[in-house]
Chains A and B, each alone.
Chain A
Amino acid sequence: MKHILSALVQNEPGVLAHVSGMFAARAFNIDSLAVGRTDDPKLSRMTIVVVGDDRMVEQVRKQLAKIVSVVKVQDFAGKDTVARDLMLLSVAAPAEKRPEIFALIEMFNAKVVDIGPKFVMVEVSGPEAKIEAFIEACKPYGVKNVARTGTIAMPRQPRSNSQE
């Protein structure tokens, strides 16, 4: 089963190495890892997606929490969570195909961020499945490059005041 772990860590050199080193040393596989600063400049948030049974993920969570520079770890499994990937994708777009491609971009609520003579670069964000679907939809035209952030996630607010 896929688990999304969210770790609040101290924004210090070596913390990422410590976290990824712990995964490597204990033979836990990282599915994706996204890191960025939070509103507090002293803290960063790592969103780590791991695939494994509950026992393995429980051990991952505990080992993460044990690292001195890791402040807090949450497992979002079983929680109503908003999870997003961001992707930049370059797709071949000859003039005669552009209307089709632009329609596709609109359907996926994506955004054109760069246009060249042969390619367009598109920005898409959303749940992982949507990102995967967009890649599939673009494949027939010729996908040149893909860059993805990995998943970031937060639990939904309780009750009805959610953002979506």
Chain B
Amino acid sequence: MSNNPSPGASAPKPIRKPGSQIIVDTLIEQGVDTMFGYLGGVVLPIFDKIYDSPINFVIPRHEQGGCHMADAYARATGKPGVIIATSGPGATNLITGLATAMMDSVPLIALTGQVRTDLIGNDAFQEADITGITRPITKHNVILKDTKDVAQTLREAFHIATTGRPGPVLIDIPVDVAMGEAEVTPPEKIKLPGYKIRHRGHSRQVTTAANAINNSLRPVLYVGGGVIASGAFDELRMLAEKAHIPVTTTLLGLGAWDQTKEGSLDMLGMHGAAYANYAVQDADLLIAVGARFEDRVTGKLKTFATNATTIHIDIDPSSISKNVRVDIPVVGDAKQTLSELARQVEYRERKEWFDKIAEWKEKFPLFYDRNADTIKPQYVIEELYNQTKDSEATIVTGVGQHQMWAAQFYKYSRPRQLITSGGLGTMGFGLPAAIGAQVARPGKLVIDIDGDSSFNMTLQELATAVQYELPVKVVLLNNGYMGMVRQWQELFYNKRYSCSYLTNPNFAKLAQAFGAAGITVEDKSAVPGAIEQMLKETKPCVVDFRVEPEENVWPMVPAGKSLHEMDGLDIFESMA
């Protein structure tokens, strides 16, 4: 070992350290400078070492909030987020956050405390089988049994969380493992015989795909969060521009293509733009990249893109042909594969195709009644966009109608600009995620576009924002309902609004009680001024917009219908 040079390990005698110190040292070695977490008995040894470390630590008000913060930190930076929680209830409070990160492929390291190894399985105080509980919602998880494995297991966890299709990895640490001592060992080569990633797409498949693109008349690029995760923004642009292909994105793909530029079809799917859905249904070639053909995107599977040959580029082989039959599968990293494709494709004019798309865009734009006297939620978002488009704002959302309007009426031009819970649809994600994003981007504008019901679920994290002086802005589209649920009840349950109405607090006053700023807006004319005031505010700020209570998200592909069978387009006919 002495002739194996490694930084800081030149001493001839091996150094022994407590497991808790090894944990903190290894986190720092892995590049961690920021962590989120909540204390508890069995993680105290680790917190004791964090006390002396340079790590910037954020304590949420609930472990779920902490997990969403770490998740959003990862989505904002591309680096893994780190969350620590204690055993039992601390650990189980991470579940929603872990499942959210898993569904959206977010690199996350969760450290949980566990009772002493000799107590495990005895129903000890605050014991939960957290590796058992989180097995289906983590990319990988392990329970540490020996202090000597601490460093290497952590290194493996970072490797697994951040490579291939990223995801959350949980390490369960019994308190005696954290307190025990072991020799400090330098990083070894990661040896995981069951973990292989194919970065380079099969060259013959890539060429087949390039030929299909060259031969197509009506191609559409359908782009998901994988393009953002692999940092393939430039490569996507190269391919789309060189081959002249319009781009539509999933919710998580928003920002992978500059929506203010030509060739953008905006979002597709259940609440996607009509022109995106028509283009997909009419396409003769669909090039799916880092997207997984989720049911919210495809509508009725049997009738999805039936005119198209399908190319699917994904790093996860199990995503390919899971939902739709794929003609040309390419297992590989989006960045590498798109760059290789861009090299092989040729420019084609495709004027007819772009003319047809322009016609759809003209005929069926994203729409709402701009002349209404009430505050339309879409108007708030448009106004917010107009006031923030030049300021590199990060938009975070909760889940529900407001999220769909944020997807439709804000225009994203940069990857990682929108942070939202896609796969799991986690209500309550907005505020804690905004806090995580603000920690990642100090000094930058971070806005949570939220709904009242979603905000209600995690609003106690306002205290975290106040404590750490994180000036997040909350644009609350308050319609007094669980809006999306109410919309479904209106459309599919004969307006029987069973249990979808909640009495809300006065959010502005509540914000003030937390030490944040709060503004209530009841008049349409006050909207621009309130946004202006919010943007000037140096404290965390909640603006409670009392919006039109029964506004719906249009267009909408009802569940089980085909992508082109959208409701809500009659509004265009009534305009004519």
Interchain residue pairs with CB less than 8 A apart (26)? A13-B143, A14-B131, A14-B135, A14-B142, A17-B132, A17-B135, A21-B136, A55-B321, A59-B318, A62-B317, A62-B320, A63-B318, A65-B317, A65-B318, A66-B317, A66-B318, A68-B139, A68-B140, A68-B160, A68-B192, A68-B194, A69-B140, A69-B194, A70-B194, A71-B194, A72-B194
Complex contact A67–B194 (CB within 8 A): yes
CA distance A67 to B321 in the complex (A): 18
- Which residues of chain A are within 8 angstroms of B139 by Cβ–Cβ distance? 68
Q: Which residues of B contact A (CB under 8 A)?
A: 131-132, 135-136, 139-140, 142-143, 160, 192-195, 316-318, 320-322
Known: A58-B321, A59-B322, A66-B318. A18 touches B194 (CB 8 A): no
Contacts of A72 in B (CB 8 A): 194
Chain A to chain B: the 10 pairs with minimum beta-carbon distance, closest first: A62-B318, A71-B194, A68-B140, A71-B193, A25-B136, A70-B194, A62-B317, A68-B195, A63-B318, A21-B135
As a 0/1 sequence over residues 132 to 144 of chain A, the CB contacts with chain B under 8 angstroms (1 = contact) are: 0000000000000
Question: CA of A51 to CA of B408 in the docked complex: distance in angstroms?
Answer: 44
A65 to B164 CA separation, bound complex (whole angstroms):
13
Contacts of B321 in A (CB 8 A): 55, 58-59
Q: From residue A41, how far is it (CB to closest CB) to chain B in Å? A: 14
Most chain A Cβ neighbours within 10 Å, of B140, B142, B193: B193
Asked whether A10 and B194 contact (CB < 8 A) given A55-B321, A59-B322, A68-B139, the answer is: yes
A residues within 8 Å of B by Cβ? 9-10, 13-14, 17-18, 21-22, 25, 55, 58-59, 62-63, 65-72
Q: In the complex, which residues of chain A have a beta carbon less than 8 angstroms from the beta carbon of B316?
A: 66
Could you say which of A10, A13, A59, A66 has the most chain B C-beta atoms within 10 Å of its C-beta?
Answer: A66
In the complex, A21→B317 CA distance in Å? 20
Contacts of A55 in B (CB 8 A): 321
Give Cα A58–Cα B139 distance, bound, in whole angstroms.
20
The docked-state distance in angstroms from the alpha carbon of A70 to that of B192 is: 10
CB distance from A18 to the nearest CB of B (A): 6
Whole-angstrom distance from the CB of B237 to the nearest CB of chain A? 30
CA distance A25 to B316 in the complex (A): 18
CB proximity of B9 to chain A, nearest CB, Å:
28
Contact residues in A for B131 (Cβ distance below 8 Å): 14
Nearest neighbor of B193 in chain A, beta-carbon distance: A71
**B194 and A9: CB pair below 8 A?**
yes
A45 vs chain B, min Cβ distance (A): 13
Closest Cβ of chain B to A51, distance in Å, is 19
The residues of B that contact A9 with a CB separation of less than 8 Å are: 194
The answer for the CA separation of A10 and B131 in the assembled complex, in Å, is: 17
| Besides A25-B136, A59-B321, A59-B322, 4 other A-B contacts (C-beta < 8 A) | A14-B131, A21-B136, A68-B160, A68-B194
Docked CA distance A139–B132 (Å): 41
Residues in A with CB closer than 8 Å to B132 are: 14, 17
Q: How far is the CB of B56 from chain A (nearest CB, A)?
A: 30
Complex CA distance for A25 and B132, rounded to whole angstroms: 13
Interchain nearest-CB distance for B302 vs A (Å): 14
Bound: A68/B193 CA distance, A: 8
Alpha-carbon distance between A67 and B139 when the two chains are bound, in angstroms = 8
- B322 lies within 8 A of A18 (CB): no
Q: Name which residue of chain B comes closest to A62, CB basis.
A: B318
The CA-CA distance from A58 to B195 in the complex, in Å, is: 19
Give the nearest-CB partner of B318 in chain A: A62
Question: For A21, what are the chain B residues with a Cβ–Cβ distance below 8 Å?
Answer: 135-136
Closest chain A residue to B145, Cβ basis: A13
